[in-house]
Amino acid sequence: MRLNVTVNGRPRQADDVWPGESLLYVLRERLGLPGSKNACEQGECGSCTVYLDDVPVCSCLVAAGQAEGRQVRTVEGLAEGDRLDPVQQSFVDAGAVQCGFCTPGLVVAAHDLLRRTPRPSDEEIREALAGNLCRCTGYEKILDAVRTAADAS
């Protein structure tokens, strides 16, 4: 199929897409947006989290066909030019990034949390990020980053 999808505000097209292939694959391999990461391909780790029409989803579990005509926002679309989104800035400042492979998914998940709940409690942060695995940081600095971003906005 020919896939029409708006990604980070820009209408994009991809040809010869098998409707069953994952949105993650389309973003990474067909649209040149490898920021979203593939780490389990079965919805267990959250590394591939993107917004689909303003709802965060595991893009590895969304079939390309389901994204037809819809809006996608990835980690590449969060900063305004050179200005990082407050969530991105606080991840850098707090030391919440180590290898960085979980980071794109966590940044999108944290971004979504703060949109819905600008002043989350610690429990709400832990709950919102429970689907995102990180093997490096031990999470403490990630929680710090989300708290800082909440204070900043």
Partner 1 sequence: MTRLVGRGVPRVDGRAKVTGAARYAADNEIAGVLHGFLVMSTIARGEVREIDPSAALAHPGVVAVYTHADMRTLTVPGFPYNRTFIPMQDTRVHYSGQPVAYVVAETLEQAQEAANLVRVRYRAEPPVARLADAPDEPFLPEGFRADQPTETVRGDAATALEQAEVRLERTYGSPMQHHNPIEPHTTTAVWDGETVTLHESTQGVVFTRNVVSAVFGLPPADVRVVSQYLGGGFGAKGPVYPHTLLTVEVARLARRPVKLVLSRAQMYTSNGHRSEFRNHVRLGATRRGTLTAVIGTSTAQVTRTDERTFNTNDSAVNLYACPNIHVRQLGVRLDLPTSGYMRSPETTAHFGLETAMDELSYEIGIDPVQLRMRNLRPTDPQNGRHTASRHLPACYRMAANAFGWKWRNPLPGTTRDGDEYIGWGMATETHSHNAIRSTVALTIGLDGRATLRTATQDIGTGTYTVLTQVAADELGMPLGQVTTLLGDTAFPDASLSAGSSTVPSVVGPVADAAQGARDRVIALATTDPRSPLHGVPAEDVDTEGGRLFARGDRHRSDSYRDVLTRHGRPVETRSHVENTRGHSFGAVFVEVRVQPRLGTVRVSRVAAAYDLGRVLNHRTARGQVIGGVTWGIGFALMEHTAVDPNTARVVNPNLSTYLVPVSADTPSVDVAFVDQPDSGSNALGARGFGETPGTGVPAAIGNAIYHATGRRIRDVPFTQDKLL
The binding site for ligand FES (CB under 6 A) comprises 38-41, 43-48, 58, 60, 97-102, 134-137
Q: Select the residue interacting with partner 1 from 91, 113, 120, 148 (CB under 8 A).
A: 91
49: number of CA atoms within 13 Å, CB side? 27
Find the shortest distance in angstroms from Cβ 40 to partner 1: 4
Give the containing element (helix H, strand E) for 105: helix 103-116
Question: Rule CB under 8 A: is residue 65 a binding residue for partner 1?
Answer: no
Find the shortest distance in angstroms from Cβ 96 to partner 1: 9
Q: How far apart are CA 116 and CA 30, in angstroms?
A: 31
Residues contacting residue 84 through CB under 8 Å, at least 6 positions apart: 78, 92
Find the shortest distance in angstroms from Cβ 87 to ligand FES: 15
Question: Rule CB under 8 A: is residue 124 a binding residue for partner 1?
Answer: no
Q: Select the residue interacting with partner 1 from 12, 14, 34, 147 (CB under 8 A).
A: 34
Cα dihedral 91, 97, 102, 105 in deg (nearest 10): 10
Total binding residues toward partner 1, as defined by CB under 8 A? 57
